[in-house]
Amino acid sequence: MAGACFEAGFSAGLVWFFSMKILELSQLAEKLDQFFHLVIWERKDGFEVVAILAEDFQDAFPLPMKVQAAAAEIGMFLDTTTAARLQIENMPDDFWEEFDEVSYGEYLKVSGLGQPGRKYLEVFCAVNTGQNFDRSSFSDLGLSESDLLKVARWLRQQSIFDHRSGDLIMEILTQLQ
């Protein structure tokens, strides 16, 4: 799968994802001998693991060695690019709302981010990508003015980007209105 923020986007695939299991994740589950709960962000070109849920949410980067080994055994690459760039445990409370969960047997459960979490990652990746960001990734987010304010506040409070990104952030947020 391609690097997360460089080709990030979202399509109507979320409905598909939760009505059908992802074959690769089924194969991964067969190789695990310990329970893991992965939180993924579905993009138009695949999915990315953004967190691990144990007693609380933890960064998916780096993935636990047992998950990495099981994925390598089946030739699967589990992308954690965004998790490596953000401190997932510092995400706003609404980031963790509206999960859809799928069980892949005894050792794997997968939760897909809902719209509240996706809005932060889509804007983060758009700013990180720069002027050539994929505007189609925003088409179905349906963000309200309140949502945009939450994202803007998060970007500012976390100091994720320096002042040179201010114009691009404003352009992106303006396009989302």
Specify whether the backbone of 74 is left (phi greater than 0), alpha (psi in -120 to 50) or beta: alpha
pTM reported for the whole predicted model: 0.80
> Nearest 10 degrees: CA dihedral of 114, 79, 123, 18?
-20
pLDDT at 6: 36
CA distances (Å), origin 127, targets 45, 68, 115, 145, 162: 19, 29, 18, 19, 11
Residues of the chain with pLDDT below 50 are 1-19
Residue 37 in tokens: 């709960």
Domain ranges of the chain: 4-114, 117-175
The token pair at 125 is 């990746």
Write down the pLDDT at residue 170. 74
Q: What tokens does 39 get?
A: 């939180």
Decide if 99 contacts 39 (C-beta within 8 A): yes
Report pLDDT for 11. 36
- Alpha-carbon distance of 170 to 101, in angstroms, equals 34
pLDDT at 159: 67
Write out pLDDT tens, residues 108-124. Answer: 999 999 989 998 898 88
95-106 pLDDT, tens digit each? 999 998 999 999
